[in-house]
Amino acid sequence: MMGIKKVGQIGVPVQDRGGLRLLLSLPEKDEFAHASSVIYFQVEDLPAVYNEIATKGVSFPIEPHVAAKIEQTETWMAFFKDTEGNTLALMSEMQV
């Protein structure tokens, strides 16, 4: 489909277009059901980045956790809010 290849499935298909991943799904919880998109920041060391920005006052209602495991790769995520209440996330993929 339009040069987009399927790279995994975590309840819904995950699409890849030249390194940019696209996941379209309904909100998992009511707190995420608003007119906004979640932006994911891919980081190499999620625990280190999480600890660094948490000490600067960033609040994480959803702390680091394994969100998906596809073959030998675990996808870790931690969700937080910006100053306008938008949901953002840190994401890291680790080989297991």
Residue 48 in any domain: the answer is yes
B/e letters for 18-49, b = 16+ CB within 10 Å, e = fewer, are: eeeeeeeeeeeeeeeeeeeeeeeeebeebeeb
pLDDT one-digit tens code per residue, 63-85: 899 988 888 989 999 999 888 88
> Does residue 75 belong to any structural domain of this protein?
yes
Asked whether residue 15 carries a pLDDT value surpassing 80, the answer given is: no
CATH number for the domain harbouring residue 64: 3.10.180.10
Which one has a higher pLDDT value, 86 or 14? 86
Residue 79 within a domain: yes
- The pTM of the full predicted model, rounded to 2 decimals, is 0.65
Residue scoring higher pLDDT (46 or 27): 46
pLDDT at residue 7 greater than cutoff 50 = no
Q: Is residue 49 part of a domain?
A: yes
In a domain, 45, yes or no: yes
Q: Establish if 14 belongs to a structural domain.
A: no
Q: How many domains does the chain have?
A: 1
For residue 78, the SS3 value is strand
Q: What is the pLDDT of residue 45?
A: 93
Note whether residue 60 is domain-resident: yes
What pLDDT was estimated at residue 9? Answer: 47
Instruction: Write out the residue range of the structural domain in which residue 60 sits.
Output: 25-95
The tens digit of pLDDT for each residue in 29-60 reads: 776 666 667 888 889 999 999 999 999 999 89
